[in-house]
Amino acid sequence: MTPDQDEIRRRQRGRAIIMAVLLVAFVGLVYAITIAKMSLYR
């Protein structure tokens, strides 16, 4: 691999990890919002 390809892979990996973390956090947030909304209307 050329240094450019190395850099492309490094950036793609970094963005993939961040996206994965954000998606997991978003799922947790939607779950928390749902529980909170249910408690409001109980």
Partner 1 sequence: MTTTALPQAQSLPADWRDLLALTKPRVMTLVVFTGLCGLLVAPAPIPPALGFTAILCIALGAGAAAALNMWYEADLDALMKRTASRPIPAGRLDRQTALHFGVGLAFFSVILMGVATNWFAAAILAVSILFYVFVYTIWLKRRTPQNIVIGGAAGAFPPLIGWAAVTGDVATLPLILFALIFLWTPPHFWALSLFVRSDYAAAGVPMLPVVAGAKAARIQILLYTLPMAAAAVAPWPLGLTGALYGVAAAALSLAFILLALRVLFNRATEPSGMRPEKRLFAFSILYLFAIFGALVADRWLIA
Of the candidate residues 1, 2, 3, 4, the single one contacting partner 1 (CB under 8 A):
4
Q: Return the SS3 of 41.
A: coil
For residues 37 and 26, what is the distance between their CA atoms, to the nearest angstrom? 16
Nearest approach in angstroms of CB 26 to partner 1 is 9
Nearest approach in angstroms of CB 37 to partner 1 is 8
Nearest approach in angstroms of CB 34 to partner 1 is 9
24 binds partner 1 (CB under 8 A): no
Q: H helices of the chain, where?
A: 3-40
